């Protein structure tokens, strides 16, 4: 597994292609720059001699490939130097569940958690409106990632992000008083625009931005979804739209308005907690106790894994 790689390992195994780009060296020689993943993590890989390394059809995003490579260290980070690479065939023996990165909780179980929180919404019109939107998008919610490359960017990541926030909100609202109908509704719908912003398949691999996603983004798309919730009155639509619009809190992060009600403020912090702790977990899973990670881009810092035994 990728998380177990050490420097100068000889690697023969099956991985999924998360990204692949043809680039040029300073000498104008073409090479392939890949991001390979399995259920334990991801690693950058280089095929310096394309003709020599790639056997048969060139792989694309989302393909499962068999790789013969050597691990090398570059600027303190492991990467693969590919000797041979080919697309996996039906005769190959590998277990997809060990290759396709996915949420740790099965989608059916996460869906049940989501429905429990919808049922907990006391306002009947709000409950019906939220449930209608969720049921309309169930097909995508069962496998969509929450992002192309950042937090929860794997199969089922969007549903994991929503349900984890809901479970955290359930605990926090025993300490901080707020309208749980609005908070739960805002959490459930805050990223609904991502099912239009992103295009992917049931593996969650090869995720790309749609044209709509590139030009509008998930926040603007989410506002449109709320506008079409016919069961709601003008004020409730406005509040939910504000919660979606402000959940990134600052213009720098994509929100033109800061939260103007406490439920919106709490939604923002739950979103940040969930995304940042995900990045902490991801980084520390790849290092030994008592060591620092490489700089984590999304956190803008290194992180430390303490010795707790």
Report d(CA 161, CA 187) in Å as an integer. Answer: 9
The CA radius of gyration of the chain, in Å to the nearest whole number, is 21
> pLDDT tens, 137-170?
999 999 999 998 888 999 999 999 999 999 999 9
Dump pLDDT digits (tens) for 204-260.
887 899 999 999 999 999 999 999 998 899 999 999 999 999 999 877 767 889 999
Q: Enumerate residues 6+ apart whose C-beta is below 8 A from 60.
A: 17, 20, 206
Domains defined for the chain, CATH in brackets: 2-98 (2.40.50.140), 107-282 (1.10.3210)
Look up tokens 């549903």; give the residue: 159
CA distance 264 to 258: 9
Tokens of 173: 């609202």
Phi then psi for 98, rounded to 5 degrees? -90, -5
**What pTM was estimated for this model as a whole?**
0.86
């Amino acid at each position: 597994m990728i998380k177990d790689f050490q420097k100068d390992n000889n690697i023969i195994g099956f991985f999924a292609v998360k990204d692949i780009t043809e680039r040029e060296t300073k000498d104008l020689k073409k090479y392939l720059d890949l991001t390979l993943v399995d259920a334990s993590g991801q690693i950058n890989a280089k095929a310096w001699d394309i003709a020599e390394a790639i056997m048969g059809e060139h792989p694309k995003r989302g393909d499962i490939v068999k790789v013969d490579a050597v691990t090398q260290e570059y600027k303190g980070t492991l990467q693969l130097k590919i000797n041979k690479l080919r697309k996996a065939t039906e005769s190959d023996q590998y277990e997809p569940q060990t290759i396709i990165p996915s949420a740790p909780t099965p989608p059916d179980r996460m869906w049940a958690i989501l429905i429990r929180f919808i049922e907990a919404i006391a306002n009947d019109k709000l409950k019906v409106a939220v449930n209608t939107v969720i049921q309309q998008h169930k097909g995508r919610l069962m496998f969509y990632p929450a992002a192309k490359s950042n937090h929860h960017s794997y199969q089922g990541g969007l549903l994991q992000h929503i349900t984890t926030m809901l479970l955290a909100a359930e605990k926090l609202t025993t300490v901080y008083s707020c309208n749980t109908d609005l908070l739960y509704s805002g959490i459930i719908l805050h990223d609904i625009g991502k099912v239009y912003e992103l295009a992917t398949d049931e593996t969650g691999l090869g995720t790309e931005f749609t044209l709509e996603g590139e030009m509008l983004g998930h926040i603007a798309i989410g506002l449109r979804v709320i506008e079409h919730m016919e069961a709601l009155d003008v004020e409730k639509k406005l509040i939910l739209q504000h919660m979606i619009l402000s959940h990134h809190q600052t213009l720098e992060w994509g929100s033109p308005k800061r939260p103007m009600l406490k439920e919106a403020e709490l939604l923002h912090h739950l979103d940040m907690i969930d995304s940042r702790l995900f990045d902490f977990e991801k980084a520390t899973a790849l290092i030994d106790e008592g060591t620092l990670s490489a700089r984590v881009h999304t956190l803008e810092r290194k992180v430390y894994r303490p010795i707790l035994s």
